Amino acid sequence: MRYRQFLLIPAVLLCFAQIIIGQTKPQDCSDPKDPRVVAYVKEGLLEEDQNNFEAAINANKKILEIEPKNECALSTIAGLNGKVQNFEQEMLWAKRAIQANPKFVNAYINLGNAQGSLGDVIAAEQSFKKAAELEPKNPVPVYSLGALAEQQRKTPDAIEFYKKSVAIDPKFEDGYFGLSAMYANLKRFAEAKVALKKLLEINPNAQDAKEMLLEIEQEKP
C-alpha cells in the first residue's frame, strides 16, 4: 500500500506522505506472550484490514488494560489515529509510547508523521532523525525525511533521501515510488521509468507503479 497519490500531469500532488505504522509488526517489538494480548493483537489486525480503525484502536486499548506500558499497543494506537487523520491524538499516543520505551523507533516515526501533518516541520525532522539514529538500517526514517523535504518542495533533498532509503534496503518499494514521482516532476522521465521498473521487479503486482509507468510512456515514450 502506498500512502499518497501522485499525479503526473499537470504535476505531482505535494502533500505530507505518512508512513503509517499501525498494526504492522515493528522490527524491535517482541512477540506477545500473554494469550489475551495475542488475541487482541489478532482482533486489531482483523479490524484494521477491514478499515474498522476505531475498532482496531479499541482492541489495542484492551491490551493496555493488561499491559499499561505496552509500547507496541501505544504506538499502534498512534498510527491508527494517523490513518483517520486525528493527528493530535497520534502525537499524544506516540509520546506515550516513547515514554514507555525511549528507543522504540516506530513511535518516533508516528510522532514525526503527526508533527509533519500538523505543520511542525522542525519537530518532525528531529523525530525522524532520532528514529534514523536508533535504527540506521531501517529505510523508513530516511524515507520519511524525504517525504518531509517533498512537503517543503525541496525536491533535490527529497530525491537524496529516497535514494538513501533504497540504498539501505534495495527492496524498499516506497523509496523507488518516491524517486519516480520526483523525477517525473522534474521531467526526468528516463530516470522515473528506471525507478518504476525496479519497483516492478520487486513487486510485479504494484498497480500504482504500473499506472504511473504507463502514463509516463504515453507522455514520453
pLDDT given at position 13: 36
Determine which of 15-29, 30-44, 118-132 has the lowest per-residue pLDDT on average: 15-29
Domain containing 76 equals 34-119
100 & 142 share domain: no
Q: Are the CB atoms for 80 and 60 separated by under 8 Å?
A: yes
**Residue 7 domain-assigned?**
no
From 92, 119, 146, give the residue that closes a domain.
119
Angle, helices 189-202 vs 207-219, to 10°: value is: 150
56 & 91 share domain: yes
In DSSP notation, 181-214 reads: HHHHHTT-HHHHHHHHHHHHHH-TT-HHHHHHHH
**Residue 211 domain-assigned?**
yes
Determine which of 27-41, 75-89, 91-105, 194-208 has the lowest per-residue pLDDT on average: 27-41
**Residue 12 domain-assigned?**
no
Question: With bands split at pLDDT 50, 70 and 90, how would you rate the model's confidence at 30?
Answer: low
State the total domains in the chain.
2
pLDDT at 109 over 80: yes
pLDDT given at position 221: 62
User: Which residue from 143, 195, 120 is spatially nearest to 21, judged by alpha carbons?
Assistant: 143
Q: What is the CATH number of the domain that holds 220?
A: 1.25.40.10
Average pLDDT over residues 158-183: 96
pLDDT given at position 43: 95
**Residue 202 domain-assigned?**
yes
Q: Are the CB atoms for 37 and 70 separated by under 8 Å?
A: yes
Query: For the chain, where are the alpha helices, taking DSSP H only?
Result: 35-49, 53-66, 71-83, 87-100, 105-117, 121-134, 139-151, 155-168, 173-185, 189-202, 207-219
**Residue 3 domain-assigned?**
no
All 3 cell numbers of residue 55?
475498532
Question: With bands split at pLDDT 50, 70 and 90, how would you rate the model's confidence at 33?
Answer: confident
From 88, 119, 150, give the residue that closes a domain.
119
Angle, helices 139-151 vs 105-117, to 10°: value is: 10
110 & 141 share domain: no
pTM: 0.86
**Residue 127 domain-assigned?**
no
pLDDT at 22 over 50: no
pLDDT at 27 over 50: no
Q: How many CB atoms lie within 10 A of CB 207?
A: 9
pLDDT given at position 19: 46
**What average pLDDT is seen over the chain?**
87
DSSP three-state, residue 173 = helix
Residues 6+ apart with CB under 8 A from 128: 108, 109, 112, 141, 142, 144, 145, 148
From 66, 93, 119, give the residue that closes a domain.
119
pLDDT given at position 29: 55
113 & 43 share domain: yes
pLDDT at 168 over 90: yes
Amino acid identity of residue 52, one-letter, is: N
78 & 145 share domain: no
State the residue for C-alpha cell 506516540: 94
pLDDT at 200 over 50: yes
pLDDT given at position 4: 43
Per-residue pLDDT tens for 46-65? 999 999 999 999 999 999 99
Residues 6+ apart with CB under 8 A from 192: 179, 180, 181, 183, 184, 212, 216
